Amino acid sequence: MTRILGIETSCDETSAAIVDDATGVPTLRSLVILSQDVHRVFGGVVPEIASRAHLTAIVPVVRETVAQAAATLSDLDAVAVTTEPGLVGALMVGLNYAKGLSLALDIPMIAVHHMEGHLFATSLDDATAEPPFTALLVSGGHTLLLDVPAWGSYKLLGSTRDDAAGEAFDKVAKLLGLPYPGGRHVEALARDGDPSRFRFSRPMLHRNTPSDDSSYFDVSFSGLKTAVLNAVRGSTDIERDRADIARGFQDALIETLVEKTARAAAMFHRDRVVLGGGVACNRTLIEAMRARMGVHVEVFAPTPRLATDNAAMIARAGLFRYNHGERASLDHAARATAPLPGQE
């Protein structure tokens, strides 16, 4: 049996988890996530505050994770940690802690790419969410459309040219006077909205776009955000229009994501679609994706706890990398940006 401790500190969640393969299938044994609510005051994550909060939280979070798994630190076979991409100061807290554990316990350290973690997250909920599949990773910082023929082999089909999907949700929420983070608040408000009142253009979604054009899979949400801004400014009664604007925005963003994903699944003949990232918590997105794909393509989405940033997905990806002989040296550095390992 291999037991992996995962550590995640790429943004504003301090998280640790333990995953093992005692049953022959990677299984989550414990997970602790400590979110930093202080950032709501500022309407976004403040990197310096995030880093300092991680310093305070990392030790008790790991201690509680090990206790929940009824284990001890000496039971660990390796420590997996997010090293990229993310806020460098925040990443360094988790990375340096993992280096200390690796040295003190004489166990390997595994470097994990944050977005690869999101790819693995759903497999902890459902072991059949495995390649080959089409993947849509949508979070506050990233929007990636991938073809995944096998774990560790990723073909990047499209990405955002400006705002990520989660960032667009947050910015629109701010325009509508909603709390941060904005995704769930926009979705809740949109449920009561009239879809016919504000129909915004679906960005970069043209029927006649050839499949070899980069815009065939890429997305862009800055224009949609501007359209919402203009609608808010042009409203003579924002209380009356707020829900309808939220509905129009969400419909446009979701239809764009769903259609781009459908194009990818059809082109590569995939009968599975896997969603990941914080925006994968959006039930409207999941329902729209399943309706669009129909009965011949199965759509997998993580539970909310595994969709947002968490260490379980890092431990799961770390287990894969560990089993393939990968080890990170103690001089491994954190990086703010980096392509997926194995990305074409």
| pLDDT tens-digit readout, 314-330 | 999 999 999 999 999 99
Same domain, 316 and 252: no
Same domain, 223 and 244: yes
Same domain, 177 and 311: no
Instruction: Compute the distance between CA of residue 249 and CA of residue 148 in angstroms, rounded to an integer.
Output: 29
Give the per-residue pLDDT at 278: 94
Same domain, 178 and 285: yes
Same domain, 73 and 200: no
pLDDT by residue (tens digit) across 277-290?
A: 999 999 999 999 99
Average pLDDT over residues 108-115: 98
Same domain, 246 and 316: no
| Other C-beta atoms lying within 10 Å of the C-beta of residue 336 | 12
With a pLDDT cut of 70, the percent of the chain lying above it is 100
Asked if residue 343 is part of any domain, the answer here is no
CA distance readout (Å), 40 to 139, 229, 328: 17, 21, 35
Asked if residue 180 is part of any domain, the answer here is yes
Same domain, 190 and 171: yes
Which residues, listed in sequence order, are joined to residue 276 by a DSSP beta bridge? 137
Residue 179: pLDDT band with limits 50, 70, 90: very high
- Which region among 11-20, 33-42, 68-77 has the lowest average model confidence (pLDDT)? 33-42
pLDDT by residue (tens digit) across 231-247?
A: 999 999 999 999 999 99
Question: SS3 for 308?
Answer: coil
Give the angle 333-334-339 at the CA atoms, nearest 5°: 110
Question: 63 pLDDT exceeds 90?
Answer: yes
- Which region among 134-138, 180-184, 255-259 has the lowest average model confidence (pLDDT)? 180-184
Average pLDDT over residues 57-63: 98
pLDDT by residue (tens digit) across 266-275?
A: 999 999 999 9
Same domain, 89 and 189: no
Give the per-residue pLDDT at 44: 80
Mean of the per-residue pLDDT values of the chain: 95
As a whole number of Å, the end-to-end CA separation of the chain is 32
The pTM is what?
0.95
Average pLDDT over residues 64-86: 97
pLDDT by residue (tens digit) across 157-172?
A: 999 999 999 999 999 9
Same domain, 138 and 276: yes
Nearest-Å Rg of the Cα atoms of the chain is 20
Q: Report DSSP letters for 138-188, one per residue.
A: E-SS-EEEEEEEETTEEEEEEEBSSS-HHHHHHHHHHHTTPPSS-HHHHHH
Q: Which two tokens stand for residue 84?
A: 């990229």
Question: 212 pLDDT exceeds 90?
Answer: no
Q: Report DSSP letters for 99-124, one per residue.
A: HHHHHHHT--EEEEEHHHHHHHHHHH
Give the per-residue pLDDT at 286: 98
Asked if residue 330 is part of any domain, the answer here is no
Asked if residue 11 is part of any domain, the answer here is yes
Q: Which two tokens stand for residue 267?
A: 């082109």
Asked if residue 198 is part of any domain, the answer here is yes
Q: How many domains does the chain have?
A: 2
- Domain ranges, residue 164: 130-303
Give the per-residue pLDDT at 43: 79
Question: 41 pLDDT exceeds 80?
Answer: no
Average pLDDT over residues 54-77: 97
Question: 255 pLDDT exceeds 80?
Answer: yes
Average pLDDT over residues 24-45: 88
What's the CATH number where 87 sits?
Answer: 3.30.420.40
Q: Kindly provide the residue ranges of all beta strands, DSSP E only, lying in the chain, ordered along the sequence.
A: 3-8, 13-20, 27-35, 78-84, 109-113, 133-138, 143-150, 153-159, 272-276, 298-300
Same domain, 99 and 49: yes
Instruction: Compute the distance between CA of residue 171 and CA of residue 213 in angstroms, rounded to an integer.
Output: 29
Instruction: Compute the distance between CA of residue 289 and CA of residue 251 in angstroms, rounded to an integer.
Output: 12
Same domain, 107 and 224: no
Same domain, 187 and 62: no
8 A C-beta contact, residue 173 and residue 183: yes
Residue 208: pLDDT band with limits 50, 70, 90: confident
Instruction: Compute the distance between CA of residue 339 and CA of residue 44 in angstroms, rounded to an integer.
Output: 24
Asked if residue 344 is part of any domain, the answer here is no
Asked if residue 335 is part of any domain, the answer here is no
Average pLDDT over residues 36-61: 88
Average pLDDT over residues 206-233: 92
Question: 40 pLDDT exceeds 90?
Answer: no
Residue 140: pLDDT band with limits 50, 70, 90: confident
Asked if residue 172 is part of any domain, the answer here is yes
